[in-house]
A and B are shown apart, each in its own frame.
Chain A
C-alpha cells in the first residue's frame, strides 16, 4: 500500500530517512490497511446478502411464481401485484404532494414557514415506520372503519414517503441556478410560470429520481403494511376499502415461520424479488443522476 499521493503537487517534500519516520510510515500503512478492511467488511456484507437471496431464492424461481397465487404455496402473483399496487397507489398520492411541497420549500425558502416545514419534513422522515403503521391502524383501519384495505396501506406508505420526495425535490430545485429565475422574472413572468416552465423542467430527472427512490423504499417496507393492508392470497378484486391485499415483504416475514418447505421456498423467492427490485431501482436512479450531472 502506497502512502504517496497520486495527485501531483502534494507529494510530501520532507522525507528524512530516520527510524522514527519509518515507524510512522509503518503505522500509516497499518492504518490504511485497517480502513481498507473496514470498507471490505461492508462490501462483503452486501455481496453475502445478495448471494444469499440469489442462492436460496433465485434458484427456486419458476414460471408458477408469476402465474399462480400463494394459495397452496405455488406462486407469488398476488403478492407481486399487491406490492406494485400499493407502491403505485402511494406514489400517486405522495408524488404530487411531495413535489409541490418541494417547490414550496425551495422557491419560498425566504419564508419562515418554508424553513419550519423543511424541518418538519425531516422530523416526519425520522418517524419509525411502525409508528406510522400503528397510526394507520388506529386512524384508518379502526376509526374510519376502512378495515385492512388497499387504501389504508397506500395512505400509510404515502405518509412515509411524502417528506422524502419533498426533500429530494427541494434539493433538486435548489440546484437550479438563481439567475435562470431572475431572467424569467425580469421578462415579467409570474411565480407559476417561472416555477413550472423554467425551474421545474430543468430538474425533472432529479425529481423523478427522488420519486424512484421513494418507490424503492415503499416496495421494501413491511411494518407499515402489516396492520393496514393486511394480507390476501388472492389477486386484488378492484376494492379500495374493506378488502385486504397481499404484498411481497409479508411473504418473507410470515411464510418463513410456517411448517412446510414449500412456504419457506416462497419466502426466499420473495426475498430475491424484493431485493432485486430495490437494488435495480437504486442502480437505475444513480445512473440517470450521473448522466444528468456529467455536463456540469
Chain B
C-alpha cells in the first residue's frame, strides 16, 4: 500500500480551515466585546434596558471604559425573547412534524411519497427573509384580526393568554413563523428514522392484533424518540439564531419582558440587525461592543444546544 504523506498533509491543512474559522469567530468576537464585558459585568445578563446614554453629553469613564453619560446595557429581555420564541416554536412544530412525518412514511403510497414529502421539504428551501415578508404582510394582520381575538375569547382566563393583544407583531406570531421554518427540518429527519424501523417490529405488533395506528403510536414512534428529541433540539438551535423572519414580525420590543403571549419581543439575533445602526452613533463605540457581546453569547447558546442535539442523534444511531 503506497501512501502519499504529502497529499494527506495537504488535505489535512485544507480541512483545518474549518476549526480556524471557528477560532477566528471566537477570537474576533472576544476582542471586540471585551470593553463591553468590562463595562457591563454580569448584570448584563439579567437586567432589562438598552440605554446608549446621552449621545450629546461629554463622555464619562465607568469601570475603566469611556461611555456617554447614562449608558446602561442589560439583555435579560433578549434572552427571554429568544428562548421563549424558540421554545414555543418547537412546541408548535414538534407534534405537527412528527405527525406529518409518520403520515408520509406510513400512509402515503410509495409512488406518491417523493412528491408528497417534497411539499414539506421545499418549505425548508424558502429564504428566511421571504418568510419574514409573508409574515409581515399576511400572517401579522391575520393573527391580529382572527387568531388573537379567538385565543383571548377561548383561553382568556389563563395567564399569558389575557389581552391586550397589541398589533399582531409579537411572541406568538414570531413563534408561528419559526415553527413553519423548522417543521420541515424535523419532518425529514423523523421520516427517515421511521422508514428505517425494521418491518418485523411492525409485523410483530400487527400479529398481536394491534391496528397499524396502534403499532405506530405504541412501538414505532417510541422507537425513534431519540431521533425526535435530537431533531427537535437541532431545530431549536436553528430557531434561536433565526434573524430576518423574526426581525420582521416580532415587534422588536426594547427593554421590557413580554407580559403575555401576544407581546412584542426581540431576539438576540434580530436585535443585532435592528440596533447596529443606532449603535454606530455612539462616539465611544460601547454600543457596538455590547452588540458583539450579544453575538458572542448567542454563539455560546447555540453551541451548547447543537452539541446536545448532535450527541443525542449520535446516541440514536447505535
Contact = CB atoms under 8 A, between A and B. Distances in A.
Asked if A and B touch directly (CB within 8 angstroms), the answer is yes
Interface of A: 3, 5-6, 9-16, 24-25, 27-29, 31-32, 34-36, 38-39, 41-43, 45-49, 52-53, 56, 96-97, 100-101, 103-105, 107-108, 113-114, 117, 119-124, 126-135, 137-139, 143, 159, 162-163, 166, 185, 188-192, 216, 219-223, 226-227, 249, 252-253, 256, 267-268, 271, 274-275, 278-279, 281-283, 286, 290
A274 B130 contact: yes
Interface of B: 1-4, 7-8, 11-12, 14-19, 21-22, 24-25, 28-29, 31-32, 95-97, 99-100, 102-104, 107, 109, 114, 116, 118-123, 125-134, 136-138, 180, 183-184, 187, 199, 202-203, 206-214, 217, 234, 237-238, 240-244, 247-248, 269-270, 272-273, 276, 291-292, 295, 298-299, 302-303, 305-307, 310
B206 A12 contact: yes
A104 B130 contact: no
A267 B243 contact: no
10 contacts: A3-B213, A10-B202, A35-B103, A39-B116, A43-B116, A126-B305, A131-B241, A221-B127, A227-B276, A271-B133
Contact of B244 (A29, A135, A192, A253): A253
B231 to A, nearest CB: 13
A100 B120 CA distance: 32
A128 B240 contact: yes
Contacts, number: 278
A252 to B, nearest CB: 5
A120 B103 CA distance: 34
A97 B118 CA distance: 30
Nearest to A158: B21
Contacts of A222: 127-129, 243-244
Nearest to B210: A12
Given A108-B11, A135-B24, A192-B4, A256 B211 contact: no
B211 A130 contact: no
Most B-side CB within 10 Å, residue of A96, A135, A188, A252: A135
B22 A278 contact: no
A27 to B, nearest CB: 7
Contact of A12 (B122, B211, B299): B211
Contacts of B310: 119, 122
B130 A53 contact: yes
Given A32-B107, A42-B187, A100 B11 contact: yes
Contact of A27 (B130, B213, B238, B240): B213
A51 to B, nearest CB: 10
Given A31-B217, A42-B187, A192-B7, A117 B15 contact: yes
B122 A34 contact: no
B18 A166 contact: yes
A10 B104 CA distance: 19
Nearest to B8: A191
A120 B11 contact: no
B298 A35 contact: no
B138 A52 contact: yes
